[in-house]
Structure 1
Amino acid sequence: MKNSNLIINSDEIDLYMIKEKFKSRKNEVYYISIKNKYDRIMPCVLKRYIASKDNKSKETFLLKILRENGLNVPRIYFEGIDYILLEYISGKTLLEVITNLENKQGENIDFKKNYEIICKLLNWLENLYYISKKALGKAYVFEDVNFRNFIIKGDKIYGVDFEDCHCKGHKERDGGRICAFLLTYNPAFTKWKMEVTKLVIEIMTKEFNYDRNLLREEVTREFSAIEKRRGMKIPGDIIKKIF
Structure 2
Amino acid sequence: MIHGFKRLESKRNHVYLIQSGTESFIVKVHKTSEKSYLESENVKLLRDKGVRVPRILGVSKNILIEEFIEGKTIGDLISRADTTWTESLGKWFSEIHSIKKQSKTLLKGDCNLKNFIFTEKEIFGVDFEYIHYGNPYDDLGKLCFFIMDSNSQMSMNDKKHLIKRFLSAYEDHSKTVVNPKIVAEYMEIEKKGALIRRERHTPKWL
Q: TM-score, normalised by structure 1?
A: 0.71
**Residues 1:73 and 1:204: Cα distance change in structure 2 (over 3 Å):** closer
Residues 143-191 of structure 1 deviation map (CA, whole Å, 9 limit, x = unaligned): 1111111111131110011111111x21111111111111111258833
The corresponding residue for 1:62 is 42
Asked if 1:82 is matched to 2:62, the reply is yes
Residues 26-81 of structure 1 deviation map (CA, whole Å, 9 limit, x = unaligned): 1110000135xxxxx4100001102x433222211111122123221101111111
CA distance in 2, matches of 1:190, 1:53: 43
Count residues with an aligned counterpart.
195
Normalized per residue, the structure richer in strand is 2
**Residues 1:99 and 1:216: Cα distance change in structure 2 (over 3 Å):** same
Identity rate, percent: 25
CA distance in 1, matches of 2:161, 2:91: 21
Equivalent residue letter for 1:146: N
The corresponding residue for 1:162 is 128
Asked if 1:153 is matched to 2:119, the reply is yes
Match of 1:215 among 171, 180, 183: 183
Quote the offset at 1:117 in angstroms: 2.2
**Residues 1:62 and 1:197: Cα distance change in structure 2 (over 3 Å):** same
The corresponding residue for 2:203 is none
Residues 98-149 of structure 1 deviation map (CA, whole Å, 9 limit, x = unaligned): 22225xxxxxxxxxxx4x522211211111122x32xx66531001111111
**Residues 1:217 and 1:204: Cα distance change in structure 2 (over 3 Å):** farther
Mark the structure with the bigger radius of gyration: 1
CA distance in 2, matches of 1:214, 1:31: 39
Higher RCO (CA < 8 A, seq sep 6+): 2
Equivalent residue letter for 2:89: L
On the 8 A contact 1:28/1:49 being kept in 2, the answer is yes
Q: Spell out structure 1 runs of 4+ moving beyond 3 A.
A: 197-208
Equivalent residue letter for 1:143: G
CA distance in 2, matches of 1:204, 1:77: 30
- What SS does structure 1 have at the residue aligned with 2:86? helix
Quote the offset at 1:199 in angstroms: 4.2
The corresponding residue for 2:27 is 46
Equivalent residue letter for 2:191: F
CA distance in 1, matches of 2:38, 2:105: 15
Residues 73-93 of structure 1 deviation map (CA, whole Å, 9 limit, x = unaligned): 101111111111110001111
The corresponding residue for 1:226 is 194
Structure 1 stretch 54-63 or stretch 193-202: which is displaced more?
193-202
On the 8 A contact 2:97/2:105 being kept in 1, the answer is yes
CA RMSD of aligned residues (A): 2.4
Stretches of structure 2 lacking an aligned partner (at least 5 in a row): 200-206
